Homo-oligomer: A and B are copies of this chain.
Amino acid sequence: MKQLNFAGVFPYLVSPVDSRGAVKEKVLTNLVRHLIDSGVHGLTPLGSTGEFAYLTAGQRSTVVRVVIEAAAGRVPVVAGVCHASTAVACRQAVEYEKLGANGILAILDTYFPLGPDQIYSYFSAIAGSVRLPVVVYNNPTFSKFDLGVDLIERLADVPNIRYLKDASGKTGKLLTIANRLGDRIKLFSASASVPLFVMMLGGVGWMAGPACIIPRQSVCLYELAVEKRWDEALKLQKASWEVNRVFQKYGLAACIKAGLALQGFPVGDPLPPQTPLDEAGLLEVKQVLASLE
C-alpha cells in the first residue's frame, strides 16, 4: 500500500474494553476485517466514537496496534492522538507512527482556554514530530474552542497537515473553507455535516462512527458522490441520515456499540460513567438498521 492520499469512508472505530480494562483484541480484529471486507477505504481508531478520553495510555496503544495488525496494510490506518499537553500528544503520535499508522488524527483537549497561537503550536508540534500526513480535528461541540478560518489557513501551511475534519455540523463553514483554501487543505466530513454535501463542496470523504454499523451503505454513498450521481446519492443520504439522528438522541458510543452488538460484534458497553442504551434506544437502533438493509 503506497497510498499517500486519504479519501473515502473511514469509520471511527469503537474501542471494545472488557470489565477488567482489557482491550478485546479478537473482537476488534474481527470488526476491522469485517469493515475492510465491506469496502471501507480506511480506519480511524481513537476518534470520538473510540472513546479515547476514557482510555489509559496503554489501552490506547493496544487499540492502535491491534487495528494496524488487523488491517494488515489493506487500508490506511489514521490513528487519533489527543491530550491537553503538547508533549504527551507528540509522544503518542511518534509511538503510533512506529506501530505502523499511516496518518495521525490530531485532537486537542484543553483544560484552560487557549489563544490561536497556542492552538497552532499544539497542532504544528504534532505534525512536526512525525512524517505522516496529519488530519486536524475541529469539534466545537465537545471541545473548548472552534478553529476559525484564519487559523485553519495557518495550519494548512504546515507541510504535512493535509486534512481537516470539521464536526461543527455547520455545512456553510466548510463551504467558506473550500472557497478560500481550495486544495490547500482537504476536507473530511463528520456525520453531522451531511457527508454528501461536503462531498459536493469538494470534500474527500468522511470520518465518522456510523460507518461502523452501515459500512456498505456508506461506501455506496461515497461512490455515488464520486460519480456525481447526485439524485441517487441524495436518496441514500437521506435514508442513512437516520443513524445520525439516533445517535444524536441517545449518545454516540452507546449507539454504535449497541448496533455492533446487534450485528454480532460483542464490543461491550460504553465506558462508565457513560451508560448503555435503554430499551427505547435499543429498539430505535434496531429499527434504523433494519430500514437500511
Are B273 and A122 within 8 A (Cβ)? yes
Are A88 and B56 within 8 A (Cβ)? yes
Among A36-44, A63-71, A234-242, A261-269, the stretch that binds chain B is: A234-242
Are A56 and B53 within 8 A (Cβ)? no
Cross-interface CB contact of A85 among B114, B193, B242, B271, cutoff 8 Å: B271
Tallying the copies of this chain within the complex gives 4
- The reply on A55 being an interface residue by CB < 8 A is yes
A123 to chain B minimum Cβ distance, whole angstroms, is 9
CA distance A238 to B171 in the complex (A): 12
Interface size for A (C-beta < 8 A) is 64
Are A252 and B112 within 8 A (Cβ)? yes
Are B275 and A118 within 8 A (Cβ)? yes
- The reply on A274 being an interface residue by CB < 8 A is yes
Are A176 and B245 within 8 A (Cβ)? yes
List residues of chain B with CB within 8 A of the CB of A271.
85-87
Are A192 and B172 within 8 A (Cβ)? yes
CA distance A120 to B245 in the complex (A): 23
A188 to chain B minimum Cβ distance, whole angstroms, is 16
Could you list which residues of chain A lie within 8 angstroms of chain B, going by C-beta atoms? 21, 48, 51-57, 83-88, 108-112, 114, 117-119, 121-122, 125, 142, 144, 169-173, 175-176, 178-179, 191-194, 197, 200-201, 228, 230-231, 234, 237-238, 241-242, 244-245, 248, 251-253, 271-275
